[in-house]
Amino acid sequence: MSRADLGRIAELATQVSLDVSPRGVTPRLNDDLRALLDELDADDVEAVGARLDAAADPVAALIWGGALAHMGTPAAESRLDAYAKRLERDDPWPSAFPGRREVLLYLGRDDTA
């Protein structure tokens, strides 16, 4: 995927609303964002992983982490595991909702649920 397409995903991610339930949060993706995310493949793992590592807010982490989870490749899973370990160690959004716990739960990496 091109850098411009990744930029478009980042732009659309700022417009995402969330569904909130007792089981956690889920991004509500619009059709354009969903289509772009569906185009991501194994060749995009590093670029998407870099976007996840640089996520400035929990919603961006939900989008980029969800993209890696959707890819489901061993490399994508490895990136998610490394990101989850970093989040468990350092909370970049203390007292935010959604925050660290909701991101980990959405990515299937929260073992306290």
Distances (CA, A) of 11 to 4, 24, 92, 94, 96: 10, 24, 21, 24, 21
Per the structure, the complete domain to which residue 62 belongs is given by: 3-106
Task: Give a yes or no: residue 111 inside a domain.
Answer: no
CA dist., res. 28 & res. 23, Å (int): 15
Using one digit for the tens of pLDDT, what is the confidence trace for 48-105?
A: 999 999 999 999 999 999 999 999 999 999 999 999 999 999 999 999 999 999 999 9
Task: Give a yes or no: residue 113 inside a domain.
Answer: no
Looking at residue 42, the DSSP 8-state letter turns out to be G
Using one digit for the tens of pLDDT, what is the confidence trace for 28-38?
A: 999 999 999 99
- What total of structural domains would you count in the chain? 1
Task: Give a yes or no: residue 112 inside a domain.
Answer: no
Task: Give a yes or no: residue 62 inside a domain.
Answer: yes
